[in-house]
Structure 1
Amino acid sequence: MPTGPDAPDAAELRSRTRKLLAEHPPATTGRTDFLRARFDAGLAWVHYPAGLGGLGAPRSLQAVVDAELAAADAPDNDPRRIGIGLGMAAPTILRYGTRAQQERFLRPLWVGEEVWCQLFSEPGAGSDLAALGTRAVRESGGGSGGDAAPGSGDWIVNGQKVWTSSAHLARWAILIARTDPDLPKHQGISYFLCDMTAPGVEVRPLRQITGEAEFNEVFLTDVRIPDAHRLGAIGEGWKVAQTTLMNERVSIGGARLPREGGMIGPVSATWRERPELRTHDLHQRLLTLWVEAEVARLTGERLRQQLVAGQPGPEGSGMKLAFAWLNQEISGLEVELLGEEGLSYSDWTLRRPELVDFTGRDAGYRYLRSKGNSIEGGTSEVLLNIVAERVLGLPSEPRNDKDVPWKDLTR
């Protein structure tokens, strides 16, 4: 996010934060009221524009605000619970939304009053997301100009989405749907903000190998979405979705971690605390994975420095690839280290969790849940293509269906 010459510096941000704490003492101010006041003071995400939770300051200065608030034991917005909203919906709304959309959605999203989910993948369109078949048809009289700002006329949406995290908790969803089947698959898609409480939205749990139902399938039957909830131009949903997807991969694979944060932490602690489990072979593998995890962590720090200067690029796909591979390798090592004990799983029950907790569970859970890391947020196969083509500059794979109207594709 570009910053202007009048953007506040670290000293001013520190002063603004202390003023917020003085006027809204965390010990006597309700959590939601404090978070609303923080957003209104421009201290939610300082690199966002004034009036939208920020002050147009350099992104790197968010750490100044966060340190002051942490020292005062101020509440945060529970970012893991609202990660899809913060990491995917918000940057997309900021980049493509109208001012009215930004003002309506960003504050309750950041405060955590409205949880978001993502309605992208479909049973027949996962890795090839652009082949999606969910249809959005505009009611007559609404107009169809591709450059028209969101306005009058409703869209009627029918279709099915799948692998939707937090759909059972969400108030809003980011949705892509096909608005013109006569165009090639990447060109006939539009992007919407869908009310998950609207008539015709049905959420069903999907039980996973872990025994939980963290994911969902979502059925959309004659769901009415006002055109005012369209994000970006008609037919440019794929371009808008790229912003979401790039931010998603950064949020999944590039989360800030301390040394031995994430999966490597529990297995390293077990190695230190239980010498009777150690073998030479496992020692060598653990050392290798510890180094790989540290390299990935430091690379993530470099990636976040790049984000200060602009939008996430294909490098986030590389981070997400490393995240998936490391989690699967480390969790496999942990199960081997624990032997029979590693096969136990103490909470095999059908639960509807709010959060995915990799570190607060048994090794058996981590091993099973990590299998999904190479699918969610873009399959590893697709991300390898992205890295090959957009980072390494290798030739693209042949794609014979790019210029074929979607309605003529074999499905």
Structure 2
Amino acid sequence: MNAVLSGMYRVAPRLAVRDRADHLQSAGQPIEYVSICKRYGAAVALKPTNLRIEAGEFFSIIGPSGSGKTTLLGLTAGFVAASEGHIKIGGVSIEGVPPFKRNIGMVFQNYSLFPHKTVGQNIAFPLQMRGIPKRDIATRVENALRLVRLENVANRHPNALSGGQQQRVALARASVYNPSLLVMDEPLSALDKNLREELQYEIKQLHSKLGCTVLYVTHDQAEAASMAERIAIMNAGEIVQLGSARELYRNPRNRFVAAFLGQANLIPVAGLERTASGIAATTPFGERIVSVKGYEGDGDSWICVRPEAIRITASRPEMDNVVKGVVVDTTFMNGVQRHRVNINGGPVVEQFEQIISASYTPAIGTEVYLGWRADDTLIVADG
């Protein structure tokens, strides 16, 4: 198909682009990245990447600055030209299709609303650019405002609205023309915590009502975990692991993924031994930790234990793994009691639990035991 499309493009470029643009007008299309790559001279912003996002899926990309997530977004929207590979929407390559014909709705961190236009005019603008009849525009704008619960602000200007309301207007404008793909680039990062959580719920509700495919780019791991059906974690220009939030949290592939998604205690491994029930790891500070699963390759590896899986006690508990240490810090935050414990002069391990269920609150300097199950211990690769 690629050869046929490229041949059509060479013979009659306008016809080919128009036909492919027309194809994009139905919502909820699958997105496929085929060996897509972006280089700037010798620098590789995105390594060859293969990825498929299903029709109607809410898909999130997370990663640190410089990981490649913004490059992938730019390639999708058509703001960046690929060095190699191509992208398909609905099974058809969009190579050569300009950004304004890709039927992609965009929502940015800074809202990007026209300050001189009213809310209604902002939402109507993309419909006017697409030649929608005037008699239909008013109905579509009204329906879009109802979806984001802003029916009463159509005649106001953006500067008369709160940040949360402006972002709702941006969502309405991006979705009013039924895009095949809705791309969101850090849309909530400028808002306070309570408002972010409220809009997270509203965006999920909007997605459910529209049925469009969503590509959500964020640096906020918790935000991605609470919203997306699947998450791609990127680092150094490539996807290092892909899956649901639960899969990524419970079974991180390496140290980077374990540390990036949620909180993790990571302890270096000095040696590994296969046992009848799983894996036994020795640490540089003399402890022996058992696990039922994990990495057994030749490279360096780490013990990964989530803080909420650990119990803190005054006397030695009957658990698979037990280490002894001294409390070096205690904090209370958002209903959670957190302890940091120095283990045998080695690493500092964090433990936390809900205050409402906490039965033991040691003071700083107290000698304590930390215990956890082998099922909650994972050996992960370095990286």
TM-score by length of 1: 0.27
Higher strand fraction: Structure 1 or Structure 2? 2
> Over alpha carbons, which structure has the higher Rg?
2
